[in-house]
A and B are shown apart, each in its own frame.
Chain A
């Protein structure tokens, strides 16, 4: 296979990397940064289209570059998810960045590069490539977190995220080194083949260290401490982006490494189980006590990481499919919810307390209705995507003979109802004493809202389409 053919296996990443570089080069000369955002949007659409074509025509599928990367259903599903999330984040950034006075071309370039890294994480079958993809994605996200340089909270969030993230990366890298030492390879399939003859304790120690690094990246408890501060301090469109794309990418890496690479070292079952249960409780109980909507959604995202980890704990094809489906639902819903928050945040993010949402139902009925739909989907109410997401997780846990885990998941959903519905009640039942001005939703924001609301309902009414794809993707991991 020629290098051109092999590069076309990575068509979306190539397009996005080229566009990111182009934006970076153009940004000193283009006065209106919104044009650079439009280039980014165009590149994202092109990448989405390219991966769609390659999937449905079977061209450029399979592995390339000596088995370092592979273009399979799993990679393409996740890639398309990242691209859609990034496009929604770019669209909703237009007005936010203008309001905050931080609209520059580099912002859009960093989002594109971040997606390049995430795409590589999803399609790599070699620990070296996975690690480089993770670093590209993480470093772009650290920078985006600190984009509001004039705000002390933004800088604090970026610094915290950077220091703790680097520390977690160290764990991951040490784990990779130990596993490589024990098995003699960084290729996931080769590692799996070599594990029966390899030194058991060394593999187990490597797997444990990798587990710590990855659990940090998906903000699973007890490695979740950074999440609320970082989600609160980051610019809200960036929070929307990073609560979905980098998190889903980290789960893609987690699933692929642990299900394809390390399966025979089955000692990590209780590790997964404990992390899942702890994340659910820490996330949901933490969210109960928040008065800031961004922090509340941050804690809820820890809880959602717990639900996905619960599906992961089953280590069955069904559980894998449930995890992937849940990630898709959660990403679309969470991006929508954070985008409503971004729109209502006001200059310098001054109105992000839950009490600022009083009377929103009267002031802006459409926005309040959309926000309610997202919150209900996060809660898992029928007709929304969140319902089937939770339903499949619970069924897969029961099918795998883990009724305890299924019950804990349902208890946690019930706890979640309290704080999600509290926001809905605040919006419709309470009146603001001095209502803040509610700005009209711009065209780009309307587009995002329409897309996410349709997405939530489509996944809730016709889940089979995505679910079948997710099952196909999960089968590949075995």
Chain B
């Protein structure tokens, strides 16, 4: 059962990701991304990471994707114009990518059974409560400092996006 579900979700995620790059219209790409996000949430659930799965749905598939689609509709995005792509990326990219994937699979599958792959302390379960506790005790500082990061990002959007007095000419 686990294996069936895993291959189902993994298949959807991969197909969505490939379709995302293949489609020429941004709306279809955005909708493929929704499928990827949903399938990933399913994979997280299977790993026992309920919190991450729910956050994935609410934040990514929900808020961020709605924003994406909304902006695409607002600017009435047309199908992308295909430009001449770099020859090197076209010819050297796929073989290198295949090599990397084969290497990763070979290293991780050949020598080691999957159960030893991850440190045992990380498989205790009960992770929603753990996250809640850690976020406001041990990881209080990163939690707070992230607000500076968000502030900088907001300021960047304003600085780069706002109309300047002399832009009207």
Task: Please list the residues of chain A having a beta carbon within 8 angstroms of any beta carbon in chain B.
Answer: 17, 21, 24, 65-66, 68-69, 101, 104, 106, 109-110, 113, 116-117, 120, 128-129, 132-133, 135-136, 139-140, 142-143, 146-147, 149, 158, 180-184, 194, 198-199, 201-202, 205
Contact = CB atoms under 8 A, between A and B. Distances in A.
A146 B158 CA distance: 12
A140 B117 contact: no
Contacts of A128: 139, 142
B85 interface: no
B141 interface: yes
17 contacts: A17-B148, A68-B141, A69-B141, A109-B155, A110-B152, A110-B155, A132-B149, A133-B145, A136-B145, A139-B149, A139-B156, A140-B152, A143-B156, A149-B160, A181-B118, A182-B117, A194-B119
Nearest to B139: A128
Q: Which one of B108, B137, B159 has the highest number of Cβ atoms from chain A below 10 Å of its Cβ? A: B159
Given A68-B141, A184-B119, 20 more contacts: A24-B155, A65-B140, A65-B141, A68-B139, A106-B159, A113-B148, A113-B155, A117-B149, A129-B141, A129-B145, A132-B146, A135-B149, A139-B153, A142-B156, A143-B159, A182-B117, A182-B118, A182-B119, A184-B121, A194-B119
B108 A132 contact: no
Nearest to A135: B149
A180 B151 CA distance: 28
A158 B104 CA distance: 33
Given A129-B141, A199-B112, A205 B149 contact: no
Nearest to A3: B140
Contacts of B122: 180-181, 184
Contacts, number: 89
Interface in B127-150: 137-142, 145-146, 148-149
Contacts of B155: 24, 106, 109-110, 113, 143
| Majority secondary structure of chain A interface residues (helix, strand, loop or mixed) | helix
B152 A202 contact: no
Contact of B152 (A143, A184, A198, A199): A143
A396 to B, nearest CB: 33
Contact of A113 (B111, B116, B151): B151
Interface of B: 104, 107-108, 111-112, 116-122, 137-142, 145-146, 148-149, 151-153, 155-156, 158-160, 164, 166
A202 B122 CA distance: 15
B107 A205 contact: yes
Given A142-B156, A201-B111, A132 B166 contact: no
A205 B151 contact: no
B103 to A, nearest CB: 9
A376 B112 CA distance: 54
Contacts of B139: 68, 128
A149 B152 CA distance: 18
B139 to A, nearest CB: 7
A153 to B, nearest CB: 15
A266 B115 CA distance: 25
B163 to A, nearest CB: 10
Nearest to B107: A201
Contacts of A194: 119
A198 B122 CA distance: 13
A65 B152 CA distance: 23
A120 B96 CA distance: 35
Given A143-B160, A184-B119, A136 B152 contact: yes
A398 B130 CA distance: 50
B18 to A, nearest CB: 18
A158 B159 CA distance: 13
A136 B153 CA distance: 9
Contact of A149 (B108, B120, B164): B164
A136 B118 contact: no
A120 B144 CA distance: 13
B142 A132 contact: yes
B117 A199 contact: yes
A142 B155 CA distance: 12
B145 A183 contact: no
A68 B104 CA distance: 31
A447 to B, nearest CB: 27
A133 B151 CA distance: 13
A181 B111 contact: no
B108 A202 contact: yes
Nearest to B156: A143
Contacts of B111: 201
A201 B159 contact: no
A201 to B, nearest CB: 4
Q: Which one of B108, B152, B164 has the highest number of Cβ atoms from chain A below 10 Å of its Cβ? A: B152
A181 B117 CA distance: 8
Contacts of B160: 143, 146, 149, 158
A158 B107 CA distance: 38
B119 A198 contact: yes
B166 A101 contact: yes
A136 B104 CA distance: 31
A147 to B, nearest CB: 7
Contacts of B152: 110, 113, 136, 139-140, 143
